[in-house]
Structure formats: structure tokens, C-alpha cells
Amino acid sequence: MQPFTRITAIAAPLLRANIDTDVIIPIQRLVGTGREGLGPYAFERQRYLEGGADDPEFPLNRPAYKGSALLLAGENFGCGSSREGAVWALMGMGVRCVIAPSFGDIFFANCFQNGLLPVRLPAEIILQIAEETEASPGNARTTVDLERSLVVTPTGAEIPFDVDARKRDAMLQGLDDITLTLRHADAISAWRLRDRAARPWAWETVP
């Protein structure tokens, strides 16, 4: 997993509430498409016109925001089905951080397992960042600093955000839960040997 320390980027606004995982990545795109190939299909129904050309009305297609690593979203972003592909699709289009008032719980957890930082901030702060960005299109940049747990707006305002300490440390080091568990592989193996000796019946296989 790619570590996350800090990014500085133009914040792309997609402020509609309740954008679910099916909007982020249609279910049919998860069949036969590897995780590395999902980026072009992120927000497919909103992002493209019927013939396949970019829809100029879709905010993320605007030249100032296209390819941005930072997404501003509305409340309950990533709600709906437990679709890890939604995180993969966002990362495939270059997004490394999403700032929203709230997230779908499973989507929120999946972000930390894949190196995409979800940041919760009040809606009025997110709107402020969007307005500051719009005031200087193509130039205003926002910084998200995970080491300091701060968002720095285009005008320099420093906004702290809360993040679980364990999740923060894992993101800084680029470690998912599996990698963290494997750090204790020797202790796990030792426990298995002790438990097998103490409770051999629990390790018997049924024919």
C-alpha cells in the first residue's frame, strides 16, 4: 500500500450528498476488470456523454479539476454496498484524499486499507475550501497533512481533523491490516504450536 503523508492539490468539488458506491463504480465494471483498470470507469454514468466523450458539465471534467488528487464531497459519501472497488476506482483516477462531512462506514474502512485518506470536516468548512478554490481557478491549492492532522486551505487557514491514531500511523507507513498482522507472524506461529499441544482435539480435521 502506498504511504500517505501529505498532498497539496487543487480541491475538486463534488458536493452532492449520498453519492453511493454504485455511482462511484458500476457493479458491471467489477466483473473482468482488474483493480488497476477501474479508474476510467469511476463516475462513469455522470462523467461521460452517451457517445463516450467527457461530459463538460461534470465537475471533475473541468480542466482545473481533472486528475486532482483531492476530492471535496457531500455527506454520506461512499454509502451503499460494501464495494472495495469504489476505492480502487477513485485511486485509479488519481484521488488520494476525500474530504466530506461523513462517509459510508464500510467505504470509510476500505479507504484505510488501500491508501486513500478519508477526512471528516464540517460541511461549512468544505464549502469554504470549494469557494476559495473557485475564486482562483487552476491556482488555489489545498494541503492535507496527515502527520500534523491538518488541512490547510488555499488562503492559509489551518483546519485540524480527527483520525484514529492506529489508522494514522498505518497510513503514514503504508501498512494495511494484513501487513500489520504479518508483523506478528512469529508470535502467531508460536501460539499455534502451544495451542495445538494444549488442545489437540481442537486441531483435528473431520474426515
Asked if 120 and 162 touch (Cβ cutoff 8 Å), the reply is yes
CA gap 179, 113 in Å, rounded: 10
Chain segment 195-207, per-residue pLDDT in tens = 777 788 878 776 6
Domain count, the chain: 1
Kindly state the average pLDDT of the residues 126-152: 95
Chain segment 13-52, per-residue pLDDT in tens = 999 999 999 999 999 998 877 778 999 999 999 999 988 8
Chain segment 141-191, per-residue pLDDT in tens = 999 999 999 999 999 999 999 999 999 999 999 876 666 666 666 677 778
Asked whether residue 187 is assigned to any structural domain, the reply reads yes
Asked whether residue 1 is assigned to any structural domain, the reply reads no
**Domain limits for position 15:** 6-203
Give the residue among 100, 16, 24, 10 at the shortest CA–CA distance from 63. 10
CA gap 110, 80 in Å, rounded: 13
- Residue 102's contacts (CB-CB under 8 Å, 6 or more residues apart) are 75, 76, 77, 120
pLDDT classification of 61: cutoffs 50, 70, 90: very high
pLDDT at 138 (0 to 100): 81
- Residue 99: pLDDT over 90: yes
pLDDT at 179 (0 to 100): 67
Residue-level length of the chain? 207
CA gap 95, 9 in Å, rounded: 10
pLDDT at 147 (0 to 100): 96
pLDDT at 128 (0 to 100): 97
Asked whether residue 37 is assigned to any structural domain, the reply reads yes
Which CATH number characterizes residue 177's domain? Answer: 3.20.19.10
Asked whether residue 73 is assigned to any structural domain, the reply reads yes
Residue 9 neighbours by CB distance under 10 Å: 20
pLDDT at 60 (0 to 100): 94
